[in-house]
Amino acid sequence: MKSFIFLLLLFIATKAEAQTSALNIADILYAVGNYSEAIEELEKVTKSEAVLLKLARAQKASGKTAAALNNYKSVLESNPGRVLTAVEYGKLLSSTGRLKEADSIFLLLAKEYPMNANFRYQMGLVKEKLKDSTAMKHFNLTILLQDDHQQALAKVAKSELIQGKLARAERLSKQGLETKPSNRTLLSILAQAYYFQKAYELAIEEFENLVAMGEGSEFIHSRLGTSYFHLDNFDMAISHYNSALDYENENHATHYRLGKLYALIGEYENSEEHLLQAILLKDMILDEEYTSLGLTYKFSEKPKEALTYFNKALEENPDNERAMFERAIAADSYYKDLETRLKQYQAYLDKYRSGGTRQLVKLAQIRVKDIKEEIHMQASVSEDK
């Protein structure tokens, strides 16, 4: 009898040692990312709650989500009070598209623990996936429960930004950044809130912070370019628009802005290059681009080319007043015949005398008067001869 008891105890001890060894090996394999091998080790041992949880986590990590869900469910059925297990289960249900079940899990958790901000946030995420309009209510409740909840602040601040509620987007972003100044999402929202409020100096500071963090993008550099332009810092605007092209070289709007900026600083060859590229890339009405290119040729003292593009602008949009006025100026420079020059100004005045830009109309009227006087003088000289 004593021998039997001894053998039984030895067997139990050996089995326990084997299970402990398998669990230790499984833990090491899981820690280094060998999830399939960890699962094999865990399958060798008795399925306690702890083992089922280890299995579920390894199965989740290896993509065996159905098996993981079954094991999480088994644990919760035997022990419904395991809150962290319920959270893991709910998140996995949500990530695998079983949204109604996930919603039920987080609803129960939120009711049982009404002061827990994370449970409320997880409810918001599930509602968002369900396209339920109450999602934002849950994110706002999360912030009420925890005023520095980074993810909820980002959700609400972004929503406010999109809706044009810029002051609240700004406030919420700052609220989160007080706790975590390096939160890139909140920095981006804050920068955009400043940008759309036309607080360009403040917007530049935040966008430049993002660039310094390695977050440069076509979007950020374009916004920086526009901000510097509004502050009359054309060199920095050009620099950032060129950086934007490094990310997206076929962006029509960036080429167009660069073309206009280079013209403003007198670099007409660069202006011509980017405006021509903008024209090639745009598949809609091009009158603005043609007008800008015509102006570049005008400032480069190439009236023939300027005429060509002002005419193209008017073909695209016959109601482009600036193009029609500039066509008259270019014709005045290019043609020797006074009558031809006069006709262009008269065509402009016939259309815009009563409703056009006052300054342009006045300039055209002065030039018409001057040309008529020149024609009269030429006629008088011919009669004298």
One-letter identity of residue 357: T
Full-model pTM: 0.75
The DSSP code for 182 is T
Residue 323 to residue 58: CA distance in whole angstroms: 68
How does pLDDT run across 305-329, given as a tens digit for each residue? 999 999 999 998 999 999 999 999 9
Q: Check residue 51 and give its pLDDT.
A: 77
Q: Measured between alpha carbons, how far is 145 from 124 in angstroms, rounded to an integer?
A: 14
* Per-residue tens of pLDDT for the chain, all 385 residues: 544 343 333 334 344 444 556 666 766 766 767 677 767 776 777 677 777 777 878 888 888 889 888 888 988 888 888 999 999 999 999 999 999 999 999 999 999 999 999 999 999 999 999 999 999 999 999 999 999 999 999 999 999 999 999 999 999 999 999 999 999 999 999 999 999 999 999 999 999 999 999 999 999 999 999 999 999 999 999 999 999 999 999 999 999 999 999 999 999 999 999 999 998 888 777 788 989 999 999 989 999 999 999 999 999 899 999 999 999 999 989 999 889 999 999 999 998 998 899 999 999 999 999 898 888 887 665 655 5
Q: Does 1-79 match 285-377 in CATH topology? A: yes
Question: Where do the domains of the chain lie?
Answer: 1-79, 92-146, 285-377
Fold of the domain built from segment(s) 285-377: 1.25.40
Contacting residues for 215 by C-beta, under 8 A, at least 6 apart: 184, 188
Q: Which helix (H) or strand (E) holds 99?
A: helix 99-112
98: left (phi over 0), alpha (psi -120 to 50) or beta: beta
For the chain, the farthest-separated pair of C-alpha atoms sits apart, in whole angstroms, at 151
Residue pair 274/259 in contact by the 8 Å Cβ criterion: yes
Q: What is the pLDDT of residues 12-54, one digit of tens each?
A: 434 444 455 666 676 676 676 767 776 777 677 767 777 777 7
* Residue 323: both structure tokens together: 């193009």
Distances from the Cα of 5 to the Cαs of 8, 12, 15, 371, in angstroms?
A: 5, 10, 15, 126
Q: Residue 108 to residues 126, 145, 235: CA-CA distances in angstroms?
A: 14, 17, 58
The residue assigned the tokens 């008017």 is 314
Using a pLDDT cut of 90, give the percent of the chain over it.
Answer: 65
Give residue for tokens 């509602």: 127
Residue 305 is predicted with a pLDDT of 93
Inter-residue contact 20 to 29 (CB < 8 Å): no
CATH classification (class only), 1-79 = mainly alpha
